[in-house]
Chain A
Amino acid sequence: MSLPFIIIAFVTLFAAAAAMSLRNLVHCALSLVVALAGLAALYLALDAQFVGFAQILVYVGAVAILIVFAVLLTRSDATPNQTILSPGWFTGIVVSAVVFATLGWAVLNSTGLPRETPPAPVATVKNIGDLLMTQYVLPLEVIGLLLTAALIGAVIIAMKEETPKSGSSRGNEAHSSIKLEPPHVGSCGSEKERGHS
């Protein structure tokens, strides 16, 4: 346990707790950014450079911006004097404390964990790319498919649904275009009659 690791871990955990407990949603989103950046720093401290920078790109860059946009789009006026916790909050706190106690007990008392610290592994981008293109090529393709489906699905779900008014006007248009046909046929018929006469 080096000192930088401990400092980064404290900052990350404090920011995560702040993100879950603050009242103002924008402050929550900003604390979440700090927590995710701290996690990226933890990955860097654990010699996982590529994952650390991917974490910054994806989480700090994209997910945090998405959350801020969602906060701004769903802002309502009724929040300031309401309670921020749901009615069963005490049970939730107890359940999560029990979960943490169980996990911590298991971590501290397990005998199967490796004790020694191996030398820092070599995880260059070239190695990762080689593996992604050879051994993990099928999961990579599946991830591509999943991301495409999620992109299209998110756009379709969040798309503004048509109001009934515009739908009925379109129906009227279709109706009128159908209605327009008989005069056309009639005019054709009159032309025919004219030609016949």
Chain B
Amino acid sequence: MTPLQGCLLVSALLFAIGLAGAVTRRNAILALVGIELMLNAANLNFIAFWRYGPHPEALTGMMVVIFSIAIAAAEAAVGLALIIAIYRHYRTVNLDEIKNLKG
């Protein structure tokens, strides 16, 4: 197994863990944490392809990761603000009890 494949496998497992958490946990904060883990798995993929790819001197993968970290920070801030607003309205962050828009 080459180092690149090792990185990609770690990243795939991290993505699967994040996906499982985001889908199965009932707490809205932990769903957001799962989404953060999935974003980080994608970042690890970009860094791995940048490091072992044919043109690492172009720094393309690194630039994508820098912008992705900035966007993830903004996403976390807005998401947690939404969760706090939901908590103030419903007095819970349990995703199964927030069902006013459920069909």
Selected A-B contacts with CB under 8 Å, 24 pairs: A1-B1, A5-B6, A9-B6, A9-B10, A16-B14, A39-B40, A42-B47, A59-B69, A66-B77, A67-B33, A71-B29, A74-B29, A84-B25, A86-B96, A89-B23, A93-B20, A96-B17, A99-B19, A103-B12, A104-B12, A107-B12, A113-B5, A121-B51, A160-B88
Given contacts A51-B62, A103-B12, contact A117 B81 (CB under 8 A): no
Say yes or no: A74 contacts B93, CB within 8 Å.
yes
Distance A42 CA – B7 CA, assembled complex (angstroms): 9
User: A-contacting residues of B (Cβ < 8 Å)?
Assistant: 1-10, 12-21, 23-27, 29-30, 32-34, 36-37, 40, 43-44, 47-48, 50-54, 56-57, 59, 62-63, 65-67, 69-78, 80-85, 87-88, 91-96
Main secondary structure of the interface of A (DSSP, over half): helix
The smallest beta-carbon distance between B77 and chain A, in angstroms, is 4
The smallest beta-carbon distance between B27 and chain A, in angstroms, is 7
Which of A5, A35, A114, A127 is B52 in contact with, Cβ under 8 Å? A114
Say yes or no: A54 contacts B69, CB within 8 Å.
yes
CB proximity to B under 8 Å, residues A128-151: 128, 131-132, 136, 139, 143, 146-147, 150-151
Residue of B nearest to A151 (CB): B77
Using Cβ atoms and an 8 Å threshold, which residues of chain B touch A128?
A: 59, 62-63, 66
Say yes or no: B77 contacts A150, CB within 8 Å.
yes
How many contacts between A and B, using CB within 8 angstroms?
Answer: 238
Distance A146 CA – B74 CA, assembled complex (angstroms): 8
Distance A28 CA – B8 CA, assembled complex (angstroms): 25
Distance A58 CA – B2 CA, assembled complex (angstroms): 30
Using Cβ atoms and an 8 Å threshold, which residues of chain A touch B32?
A: 67
The smallest beta-carbon distance between B8 and chain A, in angstroms, is 4
Say yes or no: A25 contacts B69, CB within 8 Å.
no
Using Cβ atoms and an 8 Å threshold, which residues of chain A touch B44?
A: 39, 42-43
Say yes or no: B16 contacts A96, CB within 8 Å.
yes
Interface membership of A34, Cβ < 8 A: no
CB proximity to B under 8 Å, residues A1-38: 1-2, 5-6, 9, 12-13, 16-17, 19-21, 25, 28-29, 32, 35-36
Which of B34, B52, B72, B76 is A117 in contact with, Cβ under 8 Å? B52
Q: A13-B13, A29-B33, A39-B44 are in contact. List 13 more A-B contacts (CB 8 A).
A: A6-B6, A20-B18, A25-B30, A46-B7, A51-B69, A69-B80, A84-B25, A86-B25, A89-B24, A118-B52, A123-B59, A151-B77, A157-B82
Interface membership of A188, Cβ < 8 A: no
Say yes or no: B84 contacts A73, CB within 8 Å.
yes
Say yes or no: A153 contacts B81, CB within 8 Å.
yes
Interface centre among B23, B24, B63, B65 (most CB of A within 10 A): B24
The smallest beta-carbon distance between B41 and chain A, in angstroms, is 9
